[in-house]
Amino acid sequence: MLIFAISDKGGTGRSVTSTNIVYRHALQGNDVCYLDFDFGSPTAGAIFSVSSVARGTKTGGLHEYLRGDCAEPRRIDIWSESDREGLRIKPPGAGRLVLLPGTEGGGELATVDEEMISRCVQLFSRLEEEFDLCMVDVSAGRSFTAEMVLKATVRLPAIPFRWLVFHRWTRQHIIAADGLVTGADGLLDVGARVGHDADMLRDRIRFVRTAVLEPDAAELVGLRDEQRAWLSACDNDLRELARRHKVGRTAMLGKIPLDPVLQWREQLISDEDVLASKIANAETTAAFDDLAKKIVDDSAWEGL
């Protein structure tokens, strides 16, 4: 299965959330790979703590592959190449966890030609043979990259794919997330233009809320009653707004609570971070675990 991760704006936590989801999915016993298609800033290496490709790789990056400059993109086995000691041992029962890094200094795609699309089709189809799940980080906003993967998936009718749209829980982000899906040149618009069935495509798109601060969260205990009431009212307004923009609960696959570790240092959250060093919250890993199951759970993807 191919999962495309996209967000309306930058800074939504798309990359850090999608990497944590694939990490959890691997821990659940599946073979997974992560494709850094965020060509403008390929930083997935940093999140997986592989310092040699922290800002993309110098040779064999995905950008080079799509341009036809190398026959096969470079692969990095996280269980053996991560600098984080806690990640370097593959836990018993875990599947493969492989990163295909972007090219250092590659830059956003300036155009999409036929050759690139067929290379993209070939890449997806080869990876599908060996991985249970391929997470493709498609960068923020409308881009040639999004157009390319939409075109590629039209040519791979037998390979299941899904889209995750990441957004923060604010007015602007809710409106923008809706726009990215339904607006002019949005996913549905471009998708239909390149040959997808708009209704079927819509059923394959779900929203993920990031950095969510629940009104009853433990962090808010010290707040004054007035502040709490105000937050609660805001939250209700946002819910109403989300419902009107069809970004509400039914179209939502999951939400990730606000966690200082994700805000201050984008990284994978291991069980050790929760249980031993206690720098991360158990709710955060639970949310990742839940999403890692739901992305492949058909009942969470029934028609809206």
Residue 219 as a binder of another protein (CB under 8 A): the answer is no
In whole angstroms, the minimum distance from the beta carbon of 149 to another protein comes to 18
Site size for another protein, by CB under 8 A? 20
Q: Which of 10, 11, 29, 105 binds another protein (CB under 8 A)?
A: 29
Q: Are 73 and 65 in contact (CB under 8 A)?
A: yes
Residue 122 as a binder of another protein (CB under 8 A): the answer is yes
CA distances from 219 to 156, 214, 258, 276 (A): 46, 9, 10, 21
In whole angstroms, the minimum distance from the beta carbon of 93 to another protein comes to 6
Q: Which of 85, 114, 129, 225 binds another protein (CB under 8 A)?
A: 129
Residues 39-98 that bind another protein (CB under 8 A): 59-60, 70-72, 92-93, 95
Helix axes 171-182, 225-244, angle to 10 degrees: 10
Residue 130 as a binder of another protein (CB under 8 A): the answer is yes
Residue 115 as a binder of another protein (CB under 8 A): the answer is no
251: DSSP letter: G
**Exposed / middle / buried, residue 163 (Cβ in 10 Å: 0-12, 13-18, 19+):** buried
In whole angstroms, the minimum distance from the beta carbon of 80 to another protein comes to 10
What is the length of the chain?
A: 304
By beta-carbon proximity to another protein, the closer residue of 92 and 303 is: 92
* C-alpha span between 147 and 194 (Å, rounded): 8
* C-alpha span between 274 and 131 (Å, rounded): 28
The residue ranges that bind another protein (CB under 8 A) are: 29, 31, 59-60, 70-72, 92-93, 95, 122, 125-126, 128-132, 158-159
